[in-house]
Amino acid sequence: MGNKRKRFVISGGIIAIVMIVALALLGSNGAAKSMTIAEALNDSAKGQRVQVAGNVVDDSFTFTQENVTFFLEDSNNPDKTLEVIYDKGVSATFGNGVTAICTGTINDSGVLQCSELVTKCPSKYETSTDALSVSALFGYGEAIYSKTVKVTGSLQEGTLVGAQEEIRFVLIDEQSAETKAKPESKKDSQMVLPVKYVGALSDEIKDGSLLVITGSLGENGVFNATDVALEG
């Protein structure tokens, strides 16, 4: 009976130690404190684990093999910007103006070392009325170069990449029901439009999405888009 009680006490003690260690680890990580960008810029924020939300400043992001660096701004106070370093990959929808929620620690230099990144970009819809098809765009030849136009088409499968790439995606003419049934019938003659775009993209955009893009065609055959929306 005494041995059973002793084993019970020892087991209880081990469980208690494990719980204390677990709580200590949780406490060391700590819950992130929600801050505005202005608050995160204060010296008092250094060393703290924080969560900050803002919009990615246009053309502020740079990519390396190790991380991505960008600046966040508060839409209500755009003069205040916070530098962020994130050492993981970002989604293909990341880009200028995207809303980013960053969680991490402010280092001694006042830079947010982000360990968790969530991006949000509201879906944008636009009618394809008066928009050119890809083939119609190229049909104008040199006369269309540098002219602001709208083009509609489907996002070609497997071409959507991140904003760090020169070509963000490729647009093709929307397939008709007949072409879908016999995809080999127009495979060789299908015209493709490489699109350059550094803005944020809706999470709804994926292979085959019908898009309406605004911008201009360069002499190199690349379309420089200033706006990308889902057709609707």
Task: Give the pLDDT confidence of 89-107 residue by residue, as tens digits.
Answer: 888 889 999 999 999 999 9
Domain stops at, among 96, 120, 144: 120
Q: Domain range for residue 226?
A: 125-231
The CATH number of whichever domain residue 139 belongs to comes to 2.40.50.140
- pLDDT, tens digit (0-9, with 9 covering 90-100), for 35-83: 999 999 999 999 999 999 999 999 999 999 899 999 999 888 888 999 9
Taking the whole predicted model, whether its pTM rises above 0.75 is answered as no
Domain stops at, among 100, 120, 140: 120
Residues 111 and 55 in one domain: yes
Count of structural domains, the chain = 2
Q: Among residues 124, 104, 94, 82, which one has the least CA distance to residue 228?
A: 124
